[in-house]
């Protein structure tokens, strides 16, 4: 299995916030201890990729750190980290299409980010960006299984059609 992972995504945090580097660090350590996965580094997605799922307005607000949401901290360089997370999802999807088993071990999460909204720790919707890119490039049918403990409202909004 290919595991998309970047140490870069451990570099940001908000003290006391539940979405922390530990969330991915402990999973990485478990996989390494069990010798599961071939770890590979992702690259940030392009703005063109983001536009498949998000508005120019949202992209600009995140890029310029010009937003406020009590659950979604305004962290320096969050645009970079969020595009790296989307790039990880895109690469995992691309590997899966080519027959590889792939897992994107990434943060920040994305399933609450809608076309023009962020929230719930989510800046861009990494899953929706990857799905939209697959649909554009390959025309495949795609199913999304969100196993989080609550509703992925942003993913539903973006992929509803």
Active-site residue numbers? 112
Q: What is the DSSP string of 94-113?
A: HHHHTT--EEE--SS--TT-
Query: Which residue from 57, 55, 62, 95 is spatially nearest to 76, judged by alpha carbons?
Result: 62
Cis peptide before 108 (omega within 30 of 0): yes
Residue 15's alpha-carbon distances to 95, 122, 155, in angstroms, are 35, 17, 27
Q: How far apart are CA 103 and CA 83, in angstroms?
A: 17
Q: Which residues pair with 102 in a beta bridge?
A: 2
14 is written with which tokens? Answer: 């908000």
Q: How far apart are CA 85 and CA 151, in angstroms?
A: 20
């Amino acid at each position: 299995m290919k595991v998309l992972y970047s140490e870069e995504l451990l570099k940001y945090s908000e003290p006391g916030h539940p979405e922390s580097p530990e969330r991915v660090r402990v999973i990485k350590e478990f996989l390494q201890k069990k010798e599961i996965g071939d770890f590979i580094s992702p690259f940030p997605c392009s703005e063109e990729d983001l536009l498949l799922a998000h508005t120019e307005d949202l992209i600009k607000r995140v890029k310029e750190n010009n937003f406020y949401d009590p659950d979604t901290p305004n962290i320096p360089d969050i645009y970079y980290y969020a595009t790296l997370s989307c790039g990880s999802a895109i690469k995992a999807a691309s590997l899966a299409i080519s027959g590889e088993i792939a897992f994107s071990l990434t943060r920040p999460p994305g399933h609450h980010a809608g076309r023009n909204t962020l929230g719930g720790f989510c800046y861009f919707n990494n899953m929706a960006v990857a799905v939209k890119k697959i649909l554009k490039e390959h025309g495949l049918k795609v199913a999304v299984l969100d196993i989080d403990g609550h509703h992925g409202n942003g993913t539903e909004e973006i992929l509803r059609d």
